[in-house]
Chains A and B, each alone.
Chain A
Amino acid sequence: MINQSIIKALKNIVGPEHLLSEKEDMYTYSYDAAVLTPRMPSAAVMPASTEELGRIVSLCHENCIPITVRGSGTNLSGGTIPETSGIVLLTGLLNKIIEINEQDMYAVVQPGVVTATLAAAVEQKGLFYPPDPGSQLVSTLGGNVAENAGGLRGLKYGVTKDYVMGLHFFDARGNYVKTGSRTVKCATGYNLTGLMTGSEGTLGILDEIILKLIPAPIARQSMVAVYDTIEQASETVAGIIAARIIPATLEILDNFTIRAVEDYSRVGLPIDAAALLLIEVDGHPVVVKEDGEKVEALCRKMGAKEIKVAETEKERDKIWAARRSALSALAKLKPTLVLEDATVPRSKIPDMVLALQQIASEFNIDIGTFGHAGDGNLHPTILTDRRNTEEFKRVEEAIEAIFDKALTLGGTLSGEHGTGLAKAPFLEKEAGFSSVLFSRQLRRALDPQNILNPGKITGLSEEDSI
């Protein structure tokens, strides 16, 4: 617990309105979208300016109080579940778009700006901010940068890290650090921008974010390919990449997911199909046409029994609405949904898909699989009821089996959801002990008091393991 004088000091900084410490409020900052045990902070504080933010960090540094930053709390790895003794720092009021520069094509934002708000604002100016996580209507850009969030367009356009040009952040001592720049190139100093991206609030607290924008693509074409076996579908994915075509989006839905989506939204998906590929190519109209035809031919060659090309914007929207509703549709089936994002090199997608089916039957659990097949990032989604302890144990075992398989195939535990608390114990398995040790030493050097989001990424028991 933190003492009353600290609460008072925090109140002085942000005003009584923006400091919460009653147990009821604390309970609502004890969780995020990950399926983990909730833990309450001692206070939650909502700064409304850089100045307030800085004063809070300094105060915490002086008094050795852990800080967990929280954007919208939608991360899926427990990144915002605090240590009991600390505070949660809310970025909701730091939500201004500071600048959209059309000439130099960048935007400067505060960390609490919602992803979709920025995307819409730049679209109005004919520009494009591609990273589009499924949570874009709520997720904050601070959260996106801190998790290095991906999205449906990752295959061609990359993920958040490919758009972060520069950052301003407070370090653990409350110093204001500026990295990167507003230029396309920047080779001064360490690439701290890269280090901070994906650091989940463990190395610093992001204030201003400079993001790269690109011109919006002129043309696009979407299609759905229907398959009788999921192997054919996943081999098509590998085939498209091997043919050196990079669609903007290349998504897969398995039969379990197709049926759930159809049940939920009745958009007319073929419920007897074993798998669907949803594909979009974009760019210059001539290229779009050519690529579109090539992809169509490839799908047919690989065994697609039917291909439907969207003729109108409306048909296109329908295809992507179906994809976007996949998670929701699955979520309706059972009380608890565990969304994994183990990722493999894309040529290994067929092996991974097969492995997931085997794991589902071996552990006798329901797994719906969909996801960003094109970049090797599948979302095996496990449906269960956490209250059923016996089943939940099997679920946890199955998750480990999925991790193991992804690693044997040369992949990674998390393509986009981050390490947080959920995957911290498995980090060593993937990266090796030296890597974990290096990370811990880095952290200790930058944050000797261990106040920045303790417990995340590098594990809970800092003391014992160094």
Chain B
Amino acid sequence: MNQMNELAALVKELEEQLVICTRCGMCQSVCPLFEQTHKETDVARGKLALLDGLMKNIFSDPNGVTQRLNKCLLCGSCAANCPSGVNVLEIFIKARAILTEYKGLSVLKKIIFKKMLANPGTFDTLTQWAGWFQSLFMKSESNAQKTSCVRLISPLIDNRHILPIARTAFHKTLSPQIQKAPGSGLSALFFTGCLIDKFLPNVAHASVKVLNHHDVTLIIPRGQGCCGIPALASGDRATFTKLVDHHLDLFQKDEFDVLVTACATCTSTIKKLWPTVYKNPSNSVKNQLHTLSEKTMDINQFLVDHVNPDFKKDLSTTQQKDREIVTYHDPCHLKKSLGVAAQPRKIIRAAGKTLVEMDGSDRCCGMGGSFNLYHYGLSSSIGALKQKNISETGCRTVSTGCPACMMQISDMLAKKKKNIKVRHPMELYARALADKIT
């Protein structure tokens, strides 16, 4: 009990943010998880109440609260629609950190985060090995999504249709020319992000082509790692801090106007969580994080709002009616977190596609990072709704600006054997540029 007192004191750090919630319950209308379960602990109001309970020291141990707090997509739908402006995600992330620091990380997570993720070099090598091994127990499917499923039923993989680890990660292919490509325009540091680097390197290649085409001075520092969100989501603030320090150091070496990423989750993590969740930063770190946050943006936003090429100029050579129909899924971390929604659509149109909106384009796909690992059934039910909305547009391709969403949507489409490809807007645009030029 005494120790719970201690925890209560730690949670008190969040009090000023917690009291803003008026318990109006409006978040129930947008929470994808609540829609499935109708349980109050699954929606923001309930989780915020639980934290309030911890602060008032009414529980005898922290496990029940931790478990319920972790059952969350961290999609931010609640925060984006909260009438009172409760900063739900920041509260949840900080609370997870407080609880983990109090309870300690599980052994498995300790190995994954402390030994692997925190050291970009080790992580790179391990995923490379994993990539070689996966061919042993996964078989690739010849479908539009290019997923793999298991050869034998494995409890870990379930009946997932997984995007395989790429044969060659993006960072392995970095030639000195790509790594630093001078242009005449603005200079951009490209932050790759783990999923794009290791699973979807094509997105990075496409991004590089597009940035080169638009004469952006490109810098892609070697030795990049993870943005830290998996560690943060598990409450491992130490690994997170280590990763942030690593990158701050790395980014100091170059001058750049903006930091761009093609990953919605990396962008919102660097922009929103790096400056707010870093524990007790020194003044100089605080300033660095603040400046970096201001410079960080999504690649679609960068191209449309800042590089500002004439996106009305049509790259397509086909007649309007023959154009491929593409629908666009709004990643939560782009639209709800950063308000970026119009720009990727502009890019898709500029790539000569006919954009057809799906119902609920900004509804969460159900991925939620590790949520998918621990609650695959729920994650799939939410994903199935997305799949249905995508399929109903009659599109041939669905595009979205986040690799995690791409993986989830691929899994959902593969399950239903849909002949629909999944592409990042940069892939569509780079392809159109290439077709135009050749």
Contact = CB atoms under 8 A, between A and B. Distances in A.
A20 interface: yes
Nearest to B48: A28
A387 B26 contact: no
B88 to A, nearest CB: 14
B83 A327 contact: yes
B46 A22 contact: no
Given A27-B53, A29-B40, A332 B84 contact: yes
A336 interface: yes
B23 A31 contact: yes
Interface string A215-246: 00000000000000000000000000000000
A38 B45 CA distance: 14
A24 interface: yes
B59 interface: yes
Nearest to A264: B85
A238 B226 CA distance: 64
A72 B25 CA distance: 7
Contacts of A90: 38
A387 B56 CA distance: 13
Nearest to B43: A28
A72 B43 CA distance: 12
Contacts of B28: 72, 138
Contacts of B297: none
Interface string A116-136: 100000000000000000010
Interface string B56-96: 00110000110010000000000000011100000000000
B24 interface: yes
A138 B38 CA distance: 12
Interface string A21-38: 011110111111100001
A427 B28 CA distance: 31
Nearest to B42: A28
Given A27-B53, A28-B49, A72-B28, A20 B38 contact: no
Given A28-B41, A31-B49, A328-B83, A135 B26 contact: yes
Nearest to A386: B19
Contacts of B68: 24
Max chain A C-beta neighbours (<10 A), residue from B24, B45, B58: B24
**A: interface residue count bin:** 35 or more
A92 B42 CA distance: 13
A71 to B, nearest CB: 10
A46 B20 CA distance: 29
Nearest to A117: B29
A30 B49 CA distance: 9
Contact of A114 (B20, B29, B39, B84): B29
Contacts of A93: 38
Given A92-B38, A138-B26, A27 B84 contact: no
Given A31-B49, A114-B29, A336-B22, A24 B59 contact: yes
B65 A24 contact: yes
A332 B40 CA distance: 23
Contact of B19 (A46, A138, A325, A385): A385
Contacts of B29: 114, 116, 137-138
A387 B38 contact: no
B26 A28 contact: no
B22 A331 contact: yes
A112 B35 CA distance: 12
Contacts of A95: 38
A27 B58 contact: yes
A328 B84 contact: yes
A73 interface: yes
A74 interface: yes
B37 to A, nearest CB: 8
B54 to A, nearest CB: 10
A28 B85 CA distance: 20
A33 B84 contact: no
Nearest to A139: B25
A337 interface: yes
Interface of B: 19-20, 22-26, 28-29, 38-41, 45-46, 49-50, 53, 58-59, 64-65, 68, 83-85
The 8 closest A-B CB pairs, nearest first, are A92-B38, A328-B83, A28-B46, A28-B40, A24-B64, A137-B29, A335-B19, A331-B84
Interface of A: 20, 22-25, 27-33, 38, 46, 72-74, 90, 92-93, 95, 112, 114, 116, 135, 137-138, 325, 327-328, 331-332, 335-337, 385, 387
Given A25-B41, A138-B26, 5 more contacts: A22-B64, A27-B53, A72-B25, A137-B26, A332-B83
